[in-house]
């Protein structure tokens, strides 16, 4: 017999400390009762990227505070919670461990069941949290740490159709911002600078478009921007604002071209029964990319689903919801639940990044 | 029903999981399991077993004592995060206790407590009645210049330190988790702070090395 479930979720796999409460009545859309995110941008700003040890230190001293806030904002106590869901990987292990141990402490003391959630499943199931999207759909997960096409056929049924063989696009945006003296996080900074730029001035490569399939690469594109910058700096002694805008626009156009074409292919490969093309991850906030993907979905005759920005980036509401779906399906984890730096959603497809003893990354 | 507040203490800052339970002032459980890794998986099952063996449930715990290091950063965070989660769910205080204080507990003062650090360094704290000294980080070679008195030394690298300062080596007065529990009891009345890891070393991080180009007017 289905029942109304209320889950507490914890997220700490990168540089956002999150806690959230999500409730779902039987056969109804889930409701986010609270969704607290404590960011760490200022801590990492001077390092030009997320420093794992700094992130781990912050999570360990913030995650319980985030949980208290989430419960208070939901107007609930732990007595109203049915289970505790926590990101158990993949991600920066120091942060994941802090979340997992805090969740175990909460579950043990309150006598609640524990559900370990794959961070990627949290992103992949977000369209069901926001819109109750039916399976199967195609998910483009595109963030600072990940880039993959997943055919989502069920809460435990993921087929990876392709992904990046090196960097994630979000990483490339951050790197380009650093190369051009723009602030972090790089995504919004590059997008803003690109607005006044000419995307056609620099002929940046469209990596791997000449190869079949849905795999992607962004590392070479990053290097192309570096070369163009160095050439300009050498001849002019620096960059003019227009140079910077043109470099940003050219880079962004290349990323959007590659993602749009690979998405078109992934839609064709995912089968005719898709309910939608969905996106998630911080890079899904990019306006140009959203525009292109909307066009790709329309051309393929499928709906386009993009969660609001605060549910695209890392958050605990998606973890609470993914935990809720798993809990409803009977999933329970023991108090020996491990934290996993690497944890691919699709264990059948060959690894794209990471191999050897430790296995594929994601 | 046992007399007094039940204090549960644990530590994973070194290559072990250790835990103890006090009922009031009485030790009712105490255990150490050596392990190089796997503390995150083992800690809660270990605590569960310890409580059950003592005929206790989680709801009986009224105070948490947790080791805050110095030691293995990941290990410290495992226990501190767990303690904070427990404090939240049990509605009880969690009190952080440093390894250096736990080692000194019950020893005659003055004394020195020491914990091995990485890269040939040690963490050290002086303990003397009526004085408060902060923990320090020194290399073994810097010890001679530190003008330390030849007092008893306690801790894993006590032999090396005692040899250099002309002191003697002493064993801890009690099992580690028991000392943490006792200090947590003693501090319970005047500590409202949540436990925090005692790192004693800044995070390894270098500022971004690639300098951005000059932006021309």
Q: Residue A237 and residue B88: Cβ atoms within 8 Å?
A: no
Mean pLDDT of chain A: 94
3-state secondary structure of B43: helix
* Contact indicator for B57, B51 with CB cutoff of 8 Å: yes
- Is B212 a member of any domain? no
Same domain as B140, residue B64: no
Residue A357: per-residue pLDDT: 58
Same domain as B29, residue B94: yes
Residue numbers of the domain that contains B82: 6-99+173-187
Residues of B in contact with A103 (CB under 8 A): 85
Rounded to 5°, the CA angle A39-A126-A9 comes to 55
Token duo for residue A171 = 């990483």
3-state secondary structure of B144: helix
- Is B59 a member of any domain? yes
Instruction: Name the residue of chain B whose CA is nearest to A98's CA.
Output: B81
Q: Is the dihedral of CA A301, A307, A308, A309 positive or negative?
A: negative
Residues of A in contact with B204 (CB under 8 A): 53
Over residues A167-184, the mean pLDDT reads 92
Residues of B in contact with A48 (CB under 8 A): 207-208, 210
**Cα–Cα distance for residue pair A207/A216, rounded to 1 Å:** 7
Instruction: Name the residue of chain A whose CA is nearest to B195's CA.
Output: A61
Q: What is the ipTM, given to two decimal places? A: 0.96
Q: Residue B216 and residue A239: Cβ atoms within 8 Å?
A: yes
Residue A166 CB contacts under 8 Å (≥ 6 apart), including other chains = A217, A218, A219, A353
Q: Residue A98 and residue B81: Cβ atoms within 8 Å?
A: yes
**Cα–Cα distance for residue pair A108/B145, rounded to 1 Å:** 49
- Whether chain A has a CB inside 8 Å of the CB on B48: the answer is yes
Q: B155: domain CATH number?
A: 3.30.420
> In the A/B pair of chains, how many CB contacts fall below 8 A?
151
A117, pLDDT greater than 90: yes
pLDDT-based confidence at A184, cuts 50/70/90? confident
* Chain B nearest C-alpha distance from A65 (Å): 9
Same domain as B178, residue B78: yes
Q: Residue B214 and residue A229: Cβ atoms within 8 Å?
A: no
Residues of A in contact with B78 (CB under 8 A): 97, 101
Same domain as B183, residue B84: yes
Residue, of A264 and A350, whose pLDDT is higher: A264
- Is B211 a member of any domain? no
Same domain as B74, residue B59: yes
| Chosen from A101, A171, A337, A338 to mutate, greatest number of chain B CBs within 10 A | A101
A260, pLDDT greater than 50: yes
Question: Lowest mean pLDDT: which of A74-78, A199-203, A351-355, B149-153?
Answer: A351-355
- Is B154 a member of any domain? yes
Q: For residue A23, count CB atoms less than 10 angstroms from its CB and return exposed for 0-12, middle for 13-18, buried for 19 or more.
A: buried
Same domain as B140, residue B85: no
Residue B124: per-residue pLDDT: 95
- Is B198 a member of any domain? no
- Is B207 a member of any domain? no
**Cα–Cα distance for residue pair A155/A362, rounded to 1 Å:** 17
Same domain as B126, residue B46: no
| Chosen from B50, B52, B94, B212 to mutate, greatest number of chain A CBs within 10 A | B212
Same domain as B177, residue B90: yes
- Whether chain A has a CB inside 8 Å of the CB on B201: the answer is no
- Is B44 a member of any domain? yes
- H/E/C letters for each residue in chain A? CCCCEEEEEEECCCCEEEEEEEEECCCCCCEEEEEEEEECHHHHHHHCCCCHHHHHHHHHHHHHHHHHHHHHHHCCCHHHCCEEEEEEECCCHHHHHHHHHHHHHHHHHHCCCEEEEEHHHHHHHHHHHHHCCCCCEEEEEECCCCEEEEEEEECCEEEEEEEECCCCHHHHHHHHHHHCCCCCCHHHHHHHHHCCCCCCCCCCCCCCCCCCCCCECCHHHHHHHHHHHHHHHHHHCCEEHHHHHHHHHHHHHHHHHHHHHHHHHHHHHCCCCCCEEEEECHHHHCHHHHHHHHHHHHHHCCEEECCCHHHHCCCCHHHHHHHHHHHHCCCCECCCCCCCCCCCCCCCCCCCCCCHHHCCCC
**Cα–Cα distance for residue pair B39/B48, rounded to 1 Å:** 14
Residue B1: per-residue pLDDT: 47
- Is B116 a member of any domain? yes
Residue A353: per-residue pLDDT: 67
Q: What is the pLDDT of residues A311-334, one digit of tens each?
A: 999 999 999 999 999 999 999 999
Q: Residue A109 and residue B89: Cβ atoms within 8 Å?
A: yes
Domain count, chain B: 2
User: Any long-range contacts for A191-196 (C-beta under 8 Å, 24+ apart)?
Assistant: A191/A248, A191/A252, A191/A286, A191/A287, A191/A288, A193/A244, A193/A245, A193/A248, A193/A249, A194/A245, A194/A248, A194/A249, A194/A251, A194/A252, A194/A288, A195/A245, A195/A249, A196/A242, A196/A245
- Whether chain A has a CB inside 8 Å of the CB on B118: the answer is no
Residue B144 to residues A43, B39, B136, B211, Cα–Cα distance (Å): 37, 36, 14, 42
pLDDT-based confidence at B206, cuts 50/70/90? confident
pLDDT-based confidence at B2, cuts 50/70/90? low
A355, pLDDT greater than 60: no
- Whether chain A has a CB inside 8 Å of the CB on B40: the answer is yes
**Cα–Cα distance for residue pair A46/B216, rounded to 1 Å:** 23
Q: What is the pLDDT of residues A120-170, one digit of tens each?
A: 999 999 999 999 999 999 999 999 889 999 999 999 999 999 999 999 999
pLDDT exceeding 70 applies to what percent of chain A? 97
Over residues B179-199, the mean pLDDT reads 92
CA proximity to A336, closest of A6, A166, A140, A101: A101
Q: B35: domain CATH number?
A: 3.30.420.40
Of A61, A109, A339, the CB nearest to B90: A109
Instruction: Name the residue of chain A whose CA is nearest to B41's CA.
Output: A336
Question: Lowest mean pLDDT: which of A128-142, A306-320, A346-360, B122-136?
Answer: A346-360
Instruction: Name the residue of chain B whose CA is nearest to A178's CA.
Output: B212
Give B214's DSSP letter: P
A345, pLDDT greater than 80: yes
Length of chain B: 217
The predicted model scores a pTM of 0.94
* Chain A nearest C-alpha distance from B203 (Å): 6
Same domain as B144, residue B115: yes
Instruction: Name the residue of chain A whose CA is nearest to B63's CA.
Output: A109
Residue B147: per-residue pLDDT: 82
Rounded to 5°, the CA angle A222-B207-B139 comes to 135
Same domain as B129, residue B114: yes
Over residues B7-24, the mean pLDDT reads 97
Q: Residue A93 and residue B74: Cβ atoms within 8 Å?
A: yes
- Whether chain A has a CB inside 8 Å of the CB on B208: the answer is yes
Residue A347 to residues A159, A200, A266, A329, A358, Cα–Cα distance (Å): 9, 40, 19, 20, 13
Residue, of A350 and A163, whose pLDDT is higher: A163
Residues of A in contact with B33 (CB under 8 A): none
Token duo for residue A339 = 């934290």
Same domain as B110, residue B95: no
Same domain as B137, residue B79: no
Residue A39: φ, ψ to 5°: -80, 165
């Amino acid at each position: 017999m289905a029942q109304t479930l209320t889950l507490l979720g914890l997220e700490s796999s990168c540089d956002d400390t999150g806690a959230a409460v999500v409730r779902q009545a039987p056969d109804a859309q889930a409701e986010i009762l609270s969704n607290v995110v404590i960011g760490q941008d200022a801590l990492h700003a001077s390092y030009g990227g997320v420093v794992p040890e700094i992130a781990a230190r912050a999570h360990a001293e913030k995650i319980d505070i985030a949980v208290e806030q989430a419960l208070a904002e939901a107007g609930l106590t732990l007595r109203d919670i049915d289970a505790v869901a926590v990101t158990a990987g993949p991600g920066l292990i120091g942060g994941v461990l802090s979340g997992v141990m805090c969740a175990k402490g909460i579950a043990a003391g309150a006598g609640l069941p524990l559900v370990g959630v794959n961070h990627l499943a949290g992103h992949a199931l977000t369209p069901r949290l926001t819109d109750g999207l039916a399976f199967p759909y195609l998910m483009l997960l595109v963030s600072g740490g990940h880039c993959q096409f997943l055919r989502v056929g069920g809460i435990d049924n993921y087929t990876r159709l392709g992904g990046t063989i090196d960097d994630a696009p979000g990483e490339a945006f951050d790197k380009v911002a650093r190369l051009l003296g723009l602030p972090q996080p790089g995504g919004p900074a590059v997008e803003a600078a690109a607005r006044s730029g000419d995307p056609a001035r620099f002929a940046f490569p469209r990596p791997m478009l000449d190869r079949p399939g849905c795999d992607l690469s962004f590392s070479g594109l990053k290097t192309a921007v570096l070369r163009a910058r160095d050439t300009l700096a050498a001849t002019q002694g620096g960059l003019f604002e227009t140079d910077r805008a043109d470099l940003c626009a050219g880079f962004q156009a290349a990323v959007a071209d590659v993602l749009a074409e690979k998405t078109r292919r992934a839609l064709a490969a995912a089968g005719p029964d898709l309910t939608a093309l969905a996106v998630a991850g911080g890079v899904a906030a990019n306006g140009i990319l959203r525009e292109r993907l909307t066009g790709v979905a329309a051309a393929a005759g499928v709906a386009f689903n993009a969660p609001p920005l605060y549910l695209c980036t890392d958050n605990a509401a998606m973890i609470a919801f993914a935990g809720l779906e798993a809990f409803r399906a009977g999933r329970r984890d023991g108090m020996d639940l491990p934290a996993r730096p690497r944890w691919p959603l699709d264990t059948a497809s060959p690894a794209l990044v990471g191999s050897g003893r430790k296995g594929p990354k994601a | 029903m046992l007399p007094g507040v039940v204090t549960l203490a644990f530590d994973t800052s070194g290559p072990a999981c250790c835990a103890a339970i006090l009922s009031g002032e009485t030790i009712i459980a105490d255990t150490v399991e050596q392990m190089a890794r796997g503390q995150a998986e083992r800690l809660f099952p270990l605590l569960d077993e310890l409580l059950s063996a003592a005929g206790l449930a989680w709801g009986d715990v009224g105070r948490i004592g947790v080791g805050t290091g110095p030691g293995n950063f990941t290990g410290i965070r495992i226990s501190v995060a767990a303690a904070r989660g427990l404090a939240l769910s049990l509605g009880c205080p969690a009190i952080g206790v440093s390894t250096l204080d736990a080692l000194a507990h019950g020893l005659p003062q003055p004394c020195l407590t020491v914990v091995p650090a990485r890269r040939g360094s040690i963490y050290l704290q002086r303990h003397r009645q009526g004085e408060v000294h902060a923990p320090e980080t020194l290399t073994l070679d810097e010890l001679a210049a530190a003008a330390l008195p030849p007092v008893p030394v306690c801790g894993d690298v006590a032999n090396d330190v005692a040899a250099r300062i002309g002191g003697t080596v002493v064993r801890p007065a009690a099992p580690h988790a028991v000392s943490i529990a006792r200090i947590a009891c003693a501090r319970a009345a005047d500590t409202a702070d949540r436990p925090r890891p005692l790192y004693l070393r800044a995070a390894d991080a270098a500022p971004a090395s690639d300098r951005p180009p000059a932006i021309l007017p």
